[in-house]
């Protein structure tokens, strides 16, 4: 029998996992010619200067070229990229950090236990569902933060329009142990047996439904434990069945890379990349990152977000900023993070397509409200009626 080649098999099995096959994919050097927009490549990770990317994406043609490069990097290249200075104004990051810290203290005082997917409960400080918590508590902070053009650039490059943002804050305190190496959502959260029940084409599909990201909310020297990565490991088809196996864990531990980050930098990676939060060996760095899991319009986000409440909370800010002359692109980026951009599922008896193939999405309604300067109460009423129409 001829050997089964990557991409040709229908079902995957743990018994087929082969460390040699992984090594053949990851033991290579990234070619700078594949990343012409990058400032440099460090330990197989392309580092992009965000100011340069802003200049390079100033026309539709150059924007498409950069998007092509980012997609190739995440899909067939190292699987990870770093946007240096993604937040040029780090004061925006600091204001968000203040909100995060207040949420952490309130939840700690309330005695709410915070688990972790791949580390011991209590090892880190976590804020789950941070997106809507920040929007409801500090809508101005939310708007300034999620108006970021670099976040939108990489999200739309990888996922296309109508992506869904979710956010979890993670603080690894001094002495905090590293996570176990893993892959992420969707198949990364299933047991071996459950993951193997999905055909191979679903294993290939799963990573393109999600973009993983992390914004550095403080300077992160290597001793503070920034995330560990194994570049190119997203290309290993059996990786969702392999990452728990001892020989793969040992290989990751011996061959991962780790890069320092500065406040305002952002790292984005393919969720199939083998990765893990590092061990914080620093004396006093509370390593804070905003972990972004951004989902395709056609996928399911991990967290439930009350996007109706988020949109209503942020809308007065958007109206005010519009009146002050902020750009339409700025407004659209905030709406993309706040509101649901995809109109389905819905009840087509109550919410039929009118003038097209689909009814308006929640984001469409918010953008219309901005264009027509609706009063916040009118938007609140329309979003509530729309939500009722969508219920079966």
Quick: pLDDT tens for 183-208.
999 999 999 999 999 999 999 999 99
Pull the structure tokens for residue 17. 């996992």
Percentage of residues in the chain with pLDDT exceeding 70? 95
Residue 37 in contact with residue 69, Cβ under 8 Å?
Answer: yes
Predicted pLDDT of residue 179:
87
Predicted pLDDT of residue 355:
81
Cβ neighbours for 158, distance < 8 A, ≥ 6 positions apart? 70, 71, 74, 208, 211, 268, 294
Predicted pLDDT of residue 227:
96
d(CA 195, CA 3): 22
User: Above 90 in pLDDT, residue 97?
Assistant: yes
Predicted pLDDT of residue 1:
34
Residue 285 in contact with residue 218, Cβ under 8 Å?
Answer: yes
The radius of gyration of the chain from alpha carbons, rounded to an integer in Å, stands at 21
Q: What is the pTM of this model?
A: 0.94
Range of weakest confidence among 5-14, 159-168, 250-259, 355-364 = 5-14
Predicted pLDDT of residue 6:
55
Range of weakest confidence among 11-15, 150-154, 178-182 = 178-182
User: Above 70 in pLDDT, residue 113?
Assistant: no
Pull the structure tokens for residue 15. 């018994």
Provide the angle, in degrees to the nearest 10, between the axes of the packed helices 362-371 and 376-390: 160
Query: Among candidates 339, 279, 292, which has minimal Cα distance to 120?
Result: 279
d(CA 203, CA 237): 7
d(CA 109, CA 162): 37
Predicted pLDDT of residue 4:
46
d(CA 105, CA 377): 33
User: Above 90 in pLDDT, residue 124?
Assistant: no
User: Above 50 in pLDDT, residue 2?
Assistant: no
* Residue 115: band (very low, low, confident or very high) from pLDDT cuts 50, 70, 90: low
Domains of the chain, with CATH numbers? 18-28+89-295 (2.60.120.620), 307-390 (no CATH)
Rounded mean pLDDT, 140-161:
98
Handedness of CA 106, 107, 108, 110 (dihedral sign): positive
Predicted pLDDT of residue 128:
95
* Residue 114: band (very low, low, confident or very high) from pLDDT cuts 50, 70, 90: low
Pull the structure tokens for residue 373. 């300067």
User: Above 60 in pLDDT, residue 378?
Assistant: yes
Reduced to 3 states (helix: H, G, I; strand: E, B; else coil), residue 304 is coil
Predicted pLDDT of residue 250:
98
Residue 168 in contact with residue 100, Cβ under 8 Å?
Answer: no
């Amino acid at each position: 029998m001829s050997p089964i080649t990557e991409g040709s098999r229908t079902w995957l099995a743990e018994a087929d996992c082969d460390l040699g096959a992984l090594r053949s994919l990851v033991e290579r050097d990234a070619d700078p010619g594949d990343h012409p927009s990058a400032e440099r490549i460090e330990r197989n990770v392309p580092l992009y200067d965000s100011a340069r990317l802003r200049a390079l994406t100033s026309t539709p043609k150059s924007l498409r070229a950069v998007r092509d490069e980012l997609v190739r990097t995440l899909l067939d290249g190292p699987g990870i990229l770093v946007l240096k200075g993604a937040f040029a104004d780090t004061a925006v990051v600091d204001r968000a950090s203040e909100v995060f810290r207040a949420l952490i203290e309130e939840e700690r005082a309330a005695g709410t236990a915070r688990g972790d997917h791949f580390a011991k409960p209590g090892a880190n400080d976590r804020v789950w569902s941070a997106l809507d918590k920040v929007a409801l508590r500090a809508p101005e902070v939310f708007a300034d933060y999620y108006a970021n053009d670099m976040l939108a650039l990489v999200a739309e490059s990888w996922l296309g329009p109508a992506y869904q943002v979710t956010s979890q804050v993670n603080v690894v305190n001094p002495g905090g142990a590293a996570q176990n190496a893993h892959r992420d959502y969707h198949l990364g959260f299933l047991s071996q047996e459950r993951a193997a029940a999905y055909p191979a084409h679903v294993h290939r599909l799963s990573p393109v439904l999600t973009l993983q990201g992390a914004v550095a909310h403080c300077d992160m020297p290597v001793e503070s434990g920034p995330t560990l990565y194994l570049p190119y490991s997203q290309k290993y088809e059996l990786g969702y069945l392999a990452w728990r196996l001892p020989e793969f864990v040992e290989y990751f531990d011996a061959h991962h890379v780790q890069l320092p980050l500065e406040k305002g930098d952002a790292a984005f990676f393919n969720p199939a990349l083998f990765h893990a939060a590092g061990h914080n060996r620093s004396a006093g760095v509370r390593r804070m990152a905003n972990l972004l899991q951004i989902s395709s319009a056609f996928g399911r986000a991990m967290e439930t977000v009350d996007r109706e409440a988020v949109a209503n909370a942020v809308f007065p800010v958007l109206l005010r900023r519009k009146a002050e002359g902020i750009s339409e692109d700025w407004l659209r980026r905030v709406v993309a993070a706040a509101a649901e951009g995809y109109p389905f599922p819905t009840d087509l008896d109550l919410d039929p397509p009118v003038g097209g193939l689909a009814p308006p999405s929640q984001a469409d309604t918010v953008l219309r409200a901005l264009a027509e300067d609706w009063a916040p109460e009118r938007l609140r009423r329309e979003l509530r009626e729309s939500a009722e129409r969508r219920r079966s």
